[in-house]
Amino acid sequence: MQSATVKLDQPENVPMKGIIGESVQMRKIAEVIDQVAPTDMTVLITGESGVGKEVIAKAIHMSSKRSSRPMITVNSGAIPEGIIESELFGHERGSFTGASDQRKGYFELADGGTLFLDEIGELPLSSQVKFLRVLENGEFLRVGSSVPRHVNVRVIAATNRDLESAMRHGMFRADLFYRLRSFTIVVPPLRERPEDIPFLFRVFAEEVARKNGISYRGISDGAIELLRGYNWPGNVRELRNAAESMIILEKGKYLEADDVRKYLRANTVLPADERNLPVHVSKSVEQAERELILRALLELKGNIMELKAMLDEQRQTLDATRRGGQGPVVLGGPDDSGISLEEMEHRLIADALARSKGNRRMAARALNISERTLYRKIKEYGLE
């Protein structure tokens, strides 16, 4: 996939707008944002999960002339296929069973602002043609209506899928693909910009410490080196979750390399002198498993807190929108607030079993726990 070609003169002077990053790549992205934000161009943001695509979408919206209007975030992957068109374009009363009222779709709600369509690769083929029509001339039909409507919406789309390959396999329309990719921001994975890691870690660690009333005493150079050498398959999200786990479980103590190592998955890319060291050198298998489960739970909790924060933001901004206010709105996500640790563990295991289609060995591997522990948990939660 190709990114927009932009001339860069003084990347070190670029303001970052909520995007933390000191690497040349992130500074370039900040500059691209400066150039594209004032326009109404459709932007496609690509990159692995957790690299910060949504952070970038927000930065574009907030630097645009639409910033006083809402940015509506829609996750195409989270909306059931059958209702996606009515969600996006709205529907008329009686247009399908259960449509007892007419309803505005997200495009209408975003009128004058920005629509952030996340996971665009998940948009069903049948909806893609209608989506293209809005991109081309701002026109769409509500489900059950033959009267074209117009909106003034700036679209930002994101995906972690390879749209070009989806197109070659007939899963993504070529016309939409070419329309979208005319301005692409490719966000590199964290492992390709290790210079961003120390600053990101510090910001996340201080934030978690502040929120939890912990006093954070800092991190050693050796520990930072370890973080820089890790390959971060979950990218910035994983770094954020790891920072949270470290601050909470280590209770804010000064972090040395040995403390940090425990929070990285086994597939690390370590500096030469650190290689070949087992992750849990002196711990019993049981203890190591308990820590792994706890860490997976904390990671899940981090994601849930993120969702919860997004939902709170959505609620507030929807209220504000009704009163003519501004800011991002998130739609199409599940509500996971008020969940207990036990429930999370239950869900985590049920989810792994579903994904492995009941294959316990695969599920255990995915959860990074032994099959024995998995059997015990399956019994405990009645998942047989």
Binding residues (CB under 5 A) for Mg ion: these are 53-54
CA 305 to each of CA 235, 310, 335: distance values in angstroms, whole numbers, following the listed order: 17, 8, 10
Site string for ligand ATP, 302-321 (x = CB under 6 A): ----x---------------
328 lies in the site for ligand ATP, by CB under 6 A: no
Whole-number minimum distance, CB 76 to ligand ATP, in Å? 11
- Binding partner of residue 90 among ligand ATP, Mg ion, none, CB cut-off 5 to 8 Å per kind: none
- Binding partner of residue 122 among Mg ion, ligand ATP, none, CB cut-off 5 to 8 Å per kind: none
Whole-number minimum distance, CB 239 to ligand ATP, in Å? 8
19 lies in the site for ligand ATP, by CB under 6 A: yes
For residue 268, how many other CB atoms are within 10 A of its CB? 18
Strand partners, 44: 157, 184
Whole-number minimum distance, CB 190 to ligand ATP, in Å? 8
Whole-number minimum distance, CB 55 to Mg ion, in Å? 9
Residue among 244 and 345 whose Cβ is closer to ligand ATP: 244
Whole-number minimum distance, CB 180 to ligand ATP, in Å? 16
Residue nearest to ligand ATP (CB): 52
- Binding partner of residue 289 among ligand ATP, Mg ion, none, CB cut-off 5 to 8 Å per kind: none
Site string for ligand ATP, 211-250 (x = CB under 6 A): -------------------------xx--x----------
Residue among 99 and 297 whose Cβ is closer to ligand ATP: 297
Token output for 2: 């190709």
Residue from 55, 132, 279, 339 in contact with ligand ATP (CB under 6 A): 55
Binding segment toward ligand ATP, per CB under 6 A, in 50-58, 120-128, 330-338, 369-377: 50-58
Whole-number minimum distance, CB 17 to Mg ion, in Å? 17
- Packing angle between helix 285-322 and helix 360-367, nearest 10 degrees? 80
Residue among 26 and 369 whose Cβ is closer to ligand ATP: 26
- Binding partner of residue 58 among ligand ATP, Mg ion, none, CB cut-off 5 to 8 Å per kind: none
Residue nearest to Mg ion (CB): 54
Residue from 33, 37, 43, 51 in contact with ligand ATP (CB under 6 A): 51
Q: Using CB under 6 A as the criterion, which residues of the chain lie in contact with ligand ATP when the complex forms?
A: 19-21, 47, 49-55, 160, 236-237, 240, 306
